[in-house]
Each structure stands twice: as C-alpha cells, then as structure tokens.
Amino acid sequence: MSNLRGTAFEVRPLTAALGAEIHGLRLESVTDEEFAELRRLLLEHLVLFIPDQEGWSPEARTAFGRRLGELEVHPYLPHLDGHPEIQIIDSEQDGKIPIWHTDMTYAPNPPIGSILQIVRSPGTGGDTMWSNQYLAYEALSAPLRELLDGLTAVHAIHIPGLDSRAEHPVVRVHPETGRRSLFVNRAHTSHIVQLSRNESDALLQYLAEFSTSPQFTCRYRWRQGDVAIWDNRVTQHYAVDDYQQRRTGLRVVVLGDTPTGNEARWPRYEPKPGERYAPARINAKESY
C-alpha cells in the first residue's frame, strides 16, 4: 500500500525490472496527493498500469496529461472529435506495427511519456512489452559503456507526411533521476555518427538485441479500460501482433525535453575516397 498521506492505493510490482499495477485509484478524480505519488512511482517503476478505468472522460484525461506537461497533437494519427490531443490508436487503421521502439526519437525533443487506455480489447492476445534501458546500460561491460558514452546517433523517420531527423547521445542522462540509460532503438535509430557504416550497423544490432533481453522487460495483458503510463525517456516498448479481432486505444503524449549526455568524444566519421556511406532509411511508425 502507498503510505503517503492522502493516498490509499495498492502498488503491485510486475517484475524486478520494471512495471507496477496500481489498484484503488480513479483517474477521473485523482487528487494532488495521489498524482504526486503516481509521479514518484513512475520514476521508480518506469511504467504504471491502472486497471478498470472505464468512464475516464476526455476532459479529465487531458487535464491529467497536462499535469505532466504540454500535450502533443500528432502529425498523422486520428484524434477524438473535439480533442486533438487525444489520439486514436486503431489496429485496423495502421495501428499494428510490432517493433521495439521509443516514441518519436526522431524529434529534437522526444516525448517524456505517454498515457494509453485500451477501450476495445481483442479478448485474446495483443499484449504490450516494455524494456528498462537503465538496466540494459548498467549490464554492459565498463569498456563498452565508456565507448557508448562518447557517441551520438541520428534518429530519423521518412513516411508520407512526416520526414524528420535528430541527433541524440547514445547514452542519455535522465533529467530527474540523474541515471544513465541507452537511447537507441530499432525503429528510429539510423546510424552512429562517429562510426563507419559497417561498425554502426553491427553495434546498433547488438544493442537492439541486448537492450530488449527478457531480463530487462515486463509484459502486460490488457483488459478493456486499462491504462498504462510510461516514461518514454528510459523505456522501449513492443506491441505484440498476435491477435485478429479489432483493438482500439486512446493515447495522450506529453511533449518532451532535449536528451542530454556526454559530448561526443570523436569527430563525425568521414567516408574515405570512393567509399559509399548510406545509412538505411527509417520508415517505421509507432505501435502500442
């Protein structure tokens, strides 16, 4: 049980890596004390699940999100009528893209977090997984951590209506906890700026596999009305495409800050005369 005065909800950790269910809380009428405790728990567990929140009104949903920060109006996702900040995620309308990713790292200021509610569940399948990027970084050997702390990477997306790229540290420092975490992902990280194409591809492939190893993850089975809140700065997530019935969700995204870490320790890689250097184009959207 949470012991902060003014809160009486129960916290049930999902795994040792990350994730916790919160019981006895109504997001429709969350108090200041409850919100403060939720924010503390989010920094501790990285993703929070609040079951059975049917009836959460659009007004209360956006008000809750604004307590975390400014809300995003997504460039291509449909939104709830009259509420452009509430995105509709629909498995039958381009909403099924199973790949490990961190949302919108191709932006100069990626979101700090997301709030997603499943409003129509397929009944079977359709789980989402999250991975703790603190633990992934901390589990690497000291020499590899030292190398990664001096590198930056380009993140990009190239799809109709959205063409964006940004350069971020491969290891970012969380602005609230001060802890370091990996900050690369399969969906949006194009290449490491200081390495050759072959070196970059090999290292990113290794980091993508290692950072989503089972020991760093939790998996959540959705029920209709469930809500997830996650820290986008230090997690990746993966929407498992193992269902056939329609699934829909409502999502609010909190706009972000500038990822910070060590300055690059080496200059940008310059191809040798005659060397072809063409990082792969990134075309993935985002899933839930």
**At residue 17, what is the residue type?**
A
Catalytic one of 61, 155, 237, 247: 237
pLDDT at 123: 82
Active site residue 101: yes
The reply to whether 162 falls in a domain is yes
Q: What is the tally of helices (H) and strands (E) in the chain?
A: 5, 16
Residues 1-38: b if buried by 16+ CB within 10 A, e if exposed: ebeeeebebebeebbebbbbbbeebebeebeeebeebb
| Diameter over CA atoms, the chain | 67
148 phi and psi angles, rounded to 5 deg? -65, -30
- Flag whether the pTM goes above 0.85: yes
The reply to whether 3 falls in a domain is no
Active site residue 168: no
Residue 116 belongs to domain with CATH number: 3.60.130.10
Sign of the C-alpha dihedral, residues 15, 12, 23, 26?
negative
Q: How many domains does the chain have?
A: 1
The reply to whether 267 falls in a domain is no
pLDDT at 279: 62
Beta bridge partners of 167: 154
Catalytic one of 103, 149, 226, 231: 103
Catalytic one of 168, 172, 186, 251: 251
The reply to whether 159 falls in a domain is yes
Catalytic one of 45, 101, 180, 186: 101
The reply to whether 271 falls in a domain is no
Active site residue 103: yes
**How far apart (Å, rounded) are the C-alpha atoms in residues 121 and 84?**
23
Which residues constitute the domain of residue 173?
Answer: 10-254
Per-residue pLDDT of the chain (288 residues; tens, 9 = 90+): 554 444 678 999 999 999 999 999 999 999 999 999 999 999 999 999 999 999 999 999 999 999 999 999 877 788 888 999 999 998 887 656 789 999 999 999 999 999 999 999 888 999 999 999 999 999 999 999 999 999 999 999 988 878 899 999 999 999 999 999 999 999 999 999 999 999 999 999 999 999 999 999 999 999 999 999 999 999 999 999 999 899 999 999 999 899 999 999 999 999 888 777 666 556 666 655
3 — alpha (psi -120 to 50), left (phi > 0) or beta? Answer: alpha
Active site residue 45: no
